[in-house]
Structures are given as structure tokens and as C-alpha cells.
Amino acid sequence: MQNKKILVLKGDGVGPEIIDCALEVLSAISDKSGEKFTLDFADIGGVAIDKYGNPFPEETEQKLQDVSAVLLGAVGGPKWDNIDPAIRPEKGLLALRKALGVYANLRPCQIYPGLIDNSPLKPEYLKNVDFVIVRELVGGIYFGKRDTFIENGLRTAFDEERYDEAEIKRIAIYAFETAMGRSKKLTLVDKANVLDSSKLWREVVAEIAEDYPEVELEFLYVDNAAMQLIRQPSSFDVILTNNIFGDILSDEASQIAGSIGLLPSASLGAEVGLYEPIHGSAPDIAGQNIANPLATILSLAMLLRYSFGLHAEADQIEQAVKQVLANGHRTKDLAPDDYLGTREITHEVIKNL
């Protein structure tokens, strides 16, 4: 059996400590299952700027060549806030996504029974909440033309939201396929009452829908979608949307679940998958053993499932996380007065594997 190769990019802020937790879980899984993993490490984001003057250095890009998956912590921090925008830590993450070509970003959101009280929503709204955001990840305004200049004596800037039909088609197919494996309901979130790019999304998605007659397709404007996510989150199954709306709605979704420290993500559609928690680098709590590692541990579960087909092992991790929460263990984001540390809750997860 060939060793499975993972490139680990710890990044900045809480990145290193939450990744170390995920790696402890991986090592426990390896002991139990006999599966062998080979790890390689490289830099991205602020640490890479400090070391190479580039948030996505050549050294890191090279290493993508011979791995099957990338596990990433988080990037960014106040240290690099005033740096040239062209080399901000976040640019490293975007360059990595683009280099891999991972256009389909899956961000599942479900409610853990023990965490109902952590959600700002009333319990009756939380019943049967289980949806996944399928966010287009390598196009749109994140990668469009942008410029800052003086025009008519005024400081002016623009960022272009641009998609071609091929980009929309491939993510739409991904979303329909995802819906076929779930409750067969798909909601396209856009702003087609204002944006031409959104109108094109509607057109293309409606065309693809003809190949998926079993999937119930619904269109929602993004402002309405933001409202419905709070009003009736259980009405969603698969949410398909562009890069920027997906970014915004997934943070909103994390609050329905109780904490942004819980939501994992998988970025797929290419040969090498990228797995990262949806949260940022939280520099204010870095190095204090209080960050929530569960989103990263759950991202590792997604890695095992999608990049290596290790479904049983992925289920094991997800079940263990559920069990730890059901046993009443909490990290500080979930229970500020009575919590386990980053490492300690990881050990609970490992005990429950």
C-alpha cells in the first residue's frame, strides 16, 4: 500500500496549534487503521512573507506537485496589516487555491445537539438544520481586475466581478451532484435583480438543471438568502453561490451552528484537495491553548473522505467530535467560564475515536 501524502501548511495565528491537534488525530487514526500517511510541511501567509517575502513562495508551490491533499491552518494577522496589498498573507491563500484549481468549496453546516444553546437562534429554528454551501472558489471578484487610482482628483478603486459560462457550469454540476447525494434540493444564491454576472449564473444553472430533473431548484437573492438563513435555516440543503457571497454566508452559517470554530471546509474539483477551517487566524488568541481545534479536525475528516476515500476513518473522527460535545466538553468560544484547552479537547476526541 502506498503512503498517502499530505502537504501541511500551518500558516499564522492559531494555525500552528490547531494543525498540530489535527495531526495528533491523524496519527491516532493511522495507529488504529494501519493507514500510513507521509507529511510534508511548507509556509504560507505571513510566515512565508517573513521568510521569503512572498505569501505563496515557489518553495511551497513546488511541493504541491507530489501530494494528494493539502491541510491548511489559517493566514493573516495585524503584523502584516500595513504591507503592500499585493503580498498580503491572504493573497497567499488565494494564490494557493488558484494554483490548485480547487473551484468547489464545500462548507457543511449542521447543528450538534449539545450546542443548541450556543446558537443565537431559538431552538425551534434549529431543528433539522443540515445544509452545505457550495462556494465557487477560484473566480469572481476575488480574482477579477482591480485597481486604485486618482480620477477627477478623487481616490478611486474598483474590483471586477466576472464569470464565464464554463466557470459557472462546472461549479453548478458540482452542486447538482452534491444535491443528488443529499435531499435533492438546490438553492442558487445571487443578485440577479442587479448584477449581469448573476443573470448569467441563473441562465447557466437553469440549463444544467435540465440534466437533474429530480433536483428541486430554487433561486434566491442574496439579501433574502441572508434573511432566510436566520428565519428558516432548515429549509436549505445545498446552497450554490459565487465566491464573495459564499464567503459572507458561510460566516453567517457558522453562527447558526454556534461557533465559527466548528465549521470545516473542503476545496475540491482538482487533482489535489485543500482542507481548511472556515475561520481566520485569530491572532488575539494565538498561542494560549484556547483556540477551538474542532473545525480543523473536522477538515481532516473531510480530507480523509474526499482525497483518500477513507470513509470509515472520516466517520470515526466526526462521530468522536460529536461524542466529545455530547459529553459536555467545550472550548472557550463555546463556554467561556468552563472549558477545555485546545490540546485537551483534542485528547478527548482521540479518546473517543
- The residue number with the shortest CB distance to Mg ion is 247
Please state the closest distance from residue 280 (CB atom) to ligand IPM, in A: 6
Of the pair 266, 350, the CB lying nearest ligand IPM is at 266
Please enumerate, as own/partner, the contacts of 46-49 that have beta carbons within 8 Å and a separation of 24 or more.
46/11, 46/12, 46/75, 46/76, 46/77, 46/79, 46/80, 46/89, 46/281, 47/10, 47/11, 47/12, 48/89, 48/92, 49/80, 49/83, 49/87, 49/89, 49/92
Q: What's the gap between Cα 49 and its chain centre?
A: 23
Q: Pattern 241-260, binding to Mg ion, x per CB under 5 A?
A: ------x-------------
DSSP H or E run through 26: helix 15-33
Is residue 247 involved in binding ligand IPM (CB under 6 A)? Answer: yes
* DSSP bridge partners of 108: 132
Beta strands 185-190 and 216-221 are parallel
Binding ligand IPM by CB under 6 A: which of 262, 278, 294, 310? Answer: 278
Catalytic residues: 142, 191, 223, 247, 251
17 binds, among Mg ion, ligand IPM, none (CB under 5 to 8 A by kind): none
Which of 280, 310, 346, 349 lies at the binding interface for ligand IPM (CB under 6 A)?
280
Query: Which residues, other chains included, contact 71 with Cβ-Cβ below 8 Å and sequence gap of 6+?
Result: 6, 7, 8, 9, 19, 22, 275, 276, 296, 299, 300, 303
Check residue 167 for interaction with ligand IPM (CB under 6 A).
no
Closest approach, Cβ 138 to Mg ion, in A, equals 15
Site for ligand IPM contains 161 (CB under 6 A): no
Closest to ligand IPM by CB, 116 vs 248, is: 248
Q: Pattern 79-98, binding to ligand IPM, x per CB under 6 A?
A: -----------x--x-----
Where along the sequence are the contacts to ligand IPM (CB under 6 A)?
90, 93, 247, 278, 280
Which residue ranges make up the site for Mg ion (CB under 5 A)?
A: 247
